[in-house]
Amino acid sequence: MSVKTLKINGIDVAVEAGTSILHAAQETGIRIPTLCHLEGVSDVSACRLCLVEIKGSDRLFPSCITEVSEGMEVFTHTEQLQENRKMLVELLFAEGNHVCAVCVANGNCELQDVAIEVGMDHTRFNYQFPQRDVDLSHPQFGIDHNRCILCTRCVRVCAEIEGAHVWDVAFRGENAKIISGLNQPWGDVEACTSCGKCVEACPTGTIFRKGSTTGEKERDRTKVEFLSLAREKHQWTR
Amino acid sequence: MDKIRLATVWLAGCSGCHMSFLDLDEWLFDLAAKVDVVYSPVGSDIKEYPQNVDICLAEGAVANQENLALILQVRQQTKFLISFGDCAVTANVPAMRNMLGGSEPVLKRCYLELSDTSKVIPQDSQFVPELLEQVLPVHNIVDVDLFLPGCPPSAQRIKDALIPLLKGEKPQMEGRDMIKFG
């Protein structure tokens, strides 16, 4: 195992080669906000919240998919980065229809938590009020696209851990949308095993269990992490 | 020193923020010692928004002509305007009608499609203020000096925002206790 040494916010860090900056920061006790990263599945740098500065480059790097390198100097919380993150979260709120007051995830929502973390008390951008659907065709679960931030955690957890690949992203730009099957109603997709991993993975109230109302969505993220780690450690193979 | 002239207004909201304000209970006596409530649906019986208001808590989104006229007047006649609660800050639940696209489809849906009897859209704007095409947060219409989110903001949060203001300081709007939406 080769080790890389680097500096994060001036702190000396030594981590295994191949580690992402995000994980290296976590090991150093530095929390970089993120909405699309989920332990146990691949990273796609969709949310852009984890962008960091690296000395010697004038562009920003998504820390979830950027590996550490020898002598690297990383800055995770410069004034500019913090302002960028606040703006990103404001844009997320303005882009969808995020009505916390009547959301199933109120009080247990990662988007809401990140808004607090970046200090958002309002959004400077005009709300788009897009017209989006709610699909309640599945017998146990529902998906409310109004609350979706396109993090694609559901896509990855379904494809990579459950192996069913029910979810995907279709269309472009502001019309981009999470779809089930070949853009069919979720309830018609035979590949769905009703395992509920997408519900656990969803950072907002987009995918939920039917019958739960405002503020009732609770999630047990450890379930998804356990499934992934058990596979990595070959706990299921004899 | 003259007392601080405090107002509260109620635009398109459920009055929950005002109920939360009343939840300040006995602290309202302390507040009353420091302020004159010069206009408020729960604190005075004055019909016209007065001049020279120091602080105003504005609950609700801007959804109709009456809300619009009032918030414009409030801004002109108020030194420090607080966007009070999620409806004022984000337009919140009242803005869910925006997804139907404009006032016409909303009125048709409510008064024609969902009406059991007398299917008539109310027309007389002298008595029923006309709906705006879009429901908007307060800061999309006028400048706002402080955002106090929450649905509703708890009495404690309202108190923690008002105490510094009464001393002429700006409150620190940070952390879960002060800025969590919903």
Asked if the Cβ–Cβ distance from A116 to B180 is below 8 Å, we say yes
Which chain B residues are closer than 8 Å to A122 by Cβ?
Answer: 83, 89-90, 137, 139, 144, 147, 149
Predicted local distance difference test score (pLDDT) of residue B162: 98
Q: Are B58 and B52 in contact (CB under 8 A)?
A: no
Strand-pair category, A167-170 with A177-180: antiparallel
Asked if the Cβ–Cβ distance from A122 to B134 is below 8 Å, we say no
Could you give the number of structural domains in chain B?
1
Predicted local distance difference test score (pLDDT) of residue B174: 97
Nearest CA in chain A to B140: A126
The string of DSSP codes covering B115-168 is: -SS-------TTTSPPEEEEEE-GGGTS--SEEE--SSPPHHHHHHHHHHHHTT
- Residue A236: pLDDT over 70: no
Query: Backbone phi, then psi, for A188, in 5-degree steps?
Result: -90, -5
Give the model's confidence band at A238: pLDDT under 50 very low, under 70 low, under 90 confident, else very high. low
Predicted local distance difference test score (pLDDT) of residue A90: 98
Section A181-185 average pLDDT: 97
Q: Within a 10 A sphere around the Cβ of A106, how many other Cβ atoms?
A: 21
State which amino acid sits at residue B71: I
* Residue for token pair 């604190």: B43
Asked if the Cβ–Cβ distance from B174 to A120 is below 8 Å, we say no
- Residue A181: pLDDT over 80: yes
Q: Which CATH number does the domain housing residue B150 bear? A: 3.40.50.700
- Nearest-Cα distance to chain A for B2, in Å, is 31
Query: Which token pair is B117?
Result: 């009897």
Predicted local distance difference test score (pLDDT) of residue A158: 96
Which ipTM score applies to this complex?
0.93
Nearest-angstrom CA–CA distance, B160 and B138: 22
Asked if the Cβ–Cβ distance from A101 to B96 is below 8 Å, we say no
Who among A112, A119, A126 is closest to B182 (CB)? A112
Asked if the Cβ–Cβ distance from B181 to A123 is below 8 Å, we say no
Predicted local distance difference test score (pLDDT) of residue A237: 63
Nearest CA in chain A to B100: A131
Mean pLDDT (10-residue bins), chain B, 182 residues: 92 98 97 97 94 98 98 98 98 96 94 91 87 98 98 98 96 97 96
Domains of chain A from N-terminus onward: 3-77 (3.10.20.740), 101-232 (3.30.70.20)
**Three-state DSSP state, A67:** strand
Query: Which token pair is A98?
Result: 């995020």
Which chain B residues are closer than 8 Å to A100 by Cβ?
Answer: 86, 151, 181-182
Q: Say which residues have a Cβ less than 8 Å from residue A213's Cβ, sequence separation at least 6.
A: A104
Task: Look up the pTM and report it.
Answer: 0.94
Who among B147, B176, B178 is closest to A122 (CB)? B147
Q: Say which residues have a Cβ less than 8 Å from residue B50's Cβ, sequence separation at least 6.
A: B5, B7, B38, B39, B77
Who among A99, A126, A132 is closest to B93 (CB)? A99
Strand-pair category, B53-59 with B78-84: parallel
Asked if the Cβ–Cβ distance from B179 to A120 is below 8 Å, we say yes
Boundaries of domain holding B140: 4-179
CA B62-A117-A60 angle, to 5 degrees, is 105
Which chain B residues are closer than 8 Å to A101 by Cβ?
Answer: 86, 92-93, 151, 181-182
Query: Which token pair is A234?
Result: 């070959």
Return the closest-CA partner of residue A24 out of A83, A67, A82: A67
Cis peptide before B152 (omega within 30 of 0): yes
Residues of A with CB under 8 A from a CB of B: 93, 97, 99-103, 106-107, 112, 115-116, 119-123, 126-127, 129-132, 146, 215
Predicted local distance difference test score (pLDDT) of residue A33: 97
Section A108-121 average pLDDT: 97
The string of DSSP codes covering B15-67 is: SHHHHHHHTTTTHHHHHHHHEEEEE-TTT----SPPSSEEEEEEESBEEEHHH
In this complex, how many residue pairs, one in chain A and one in chain B, have their CB atoms less than 8 Å apart?
Answer: 68
Query: Which token pair is B132?
Result: 């705006």
Inform me whether the C-beta atom of residue B21 falls under 8 Å from chain A C-beta atoms. Answer: no
* Residue for token pair 């058990």: A230
Nearest CA in chain B to A122: B89
| A189-232: pLDDT as tens digits | 999 999 999 999 999 999 999 998 899 888 777 777 777 777 77
For residue A178, CA distances in Å to A135, A156, A224, B102, B157 come to: 11, 12, 20, 26, 37
Nearest CA in chain A to B102: A129
Nearest CA in chain B to A90: B90
Which chain A residues are closer than 8 Å to B179 by Cβ?
Answer: 115-116, 119-121
Q: Say which residues have a Cβ less than 8 Å from residue B29's Cβ, sequence separation at least 6.
A: none
Who among A112, A121, A215 is closest to B173 (CB)? A121
Nearest-angstrom CA–CA distance, B30 and A235: 63
Which chain B residues are closer than 8 Å to A96 by Cβ?
Answer: none
